[in-house]
């Protein structure tokens, strides 16, 4: 099972979800069965890294992460992913446009209400992303 998390720039919410989910998957002993990645809906600048505020919050919460270089979603990601999990309604619409629809119903949102980008509240963003990842893992049987 491959899960792809998606946000606008792949420097904040989607890599946060990627790293939180990787830890949850590892802690559940499911690393051999579930892989996790992330991507952006917009064209990213070469060399865009994880947002400093996101990195600081992950460190504070003891969520392991490595150097992250943002990347833009490609049409190939649809076929290579089992689930494409977006952070908000705008991301869902953008991803469906990029893929020309969602014939296999792979595209969803992490939380029904969405997870907005909030440069001033990384704690709330972290809590929302973690809650969504925990619910997703539970849905997958972990």
Q: Assess contact for 84 and 6: CB atoms under 8 A.
A: yes
Low-confidence ranges of the chain (pLDDT < 50): none
Helix pair 122-139, 52-60: axis angle to 10 deg: 70
Helices (H), the chain: 13-27, 52-60, 76-80, 89-99, 122-139
Instruction: Provide the pLDDT for residue 119.
Output: 81
User: What contacts 134, CB < 8 A, 6 or more positions away?
Assistant: 24
Instruction: Provide the pLDDT for residue 141.
Output: 84
Instruction: Provide the pLDDT for residue 48.
Output: 85
DSSP 57: H
Per-residue pLDDT tens for 102-114? 999 999 999 998 9
2-139: CATH number: 3.40.50.2300
Per-residue pLDDT tens for 122-139? 999 999 999 999 999 999
What are all long-range contacts of 127-133, with beta carbons under 8 Å and residues at least 24 apart? Answer: 129/13, 129/16, 129/17, 129/20, 130/20, 132/17, 133/17, 133/20, 133/21, 133/24
Distance, in Å, from the CA atom of 54 to the CA atom of 25, rounded to the nearest integer, reads 20
DSSP 135: H
Of the candidates 24, 41, 20, the one whose C-alpha atom is nearest the C-alpha of residue 33 is 24
């Amino acid at each position: 099972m491959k899960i792809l998390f998606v946000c606008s720039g792949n420097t904040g919410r989607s890599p946060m979800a990627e790293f939180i989910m990787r830890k949850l998957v590892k802690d559940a002993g499911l690393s051999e069965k579930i892989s996790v990645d992330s991507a952006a809906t917009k064209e990213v600048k070469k060399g865009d890294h994880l947002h400093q505020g996101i990195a600081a919050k992950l460190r504070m919460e003891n969520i392991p992460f490595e150097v992250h270089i943002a990347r833009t979603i490609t049409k190939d990601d649809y076929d290579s992913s089992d689930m494409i999990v977006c952070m908000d309604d705008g991301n869902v619409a953008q991803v469906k446009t990029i893929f020309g629809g969602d014939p296999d119903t792979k595209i969803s949102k992490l939380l029904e209400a969405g997870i907005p980008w909030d440069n001033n509240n990384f704690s709330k963003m972290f809590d929302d992303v973690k809650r969504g990842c925990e619910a997703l893992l539970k849905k997958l049987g972990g």
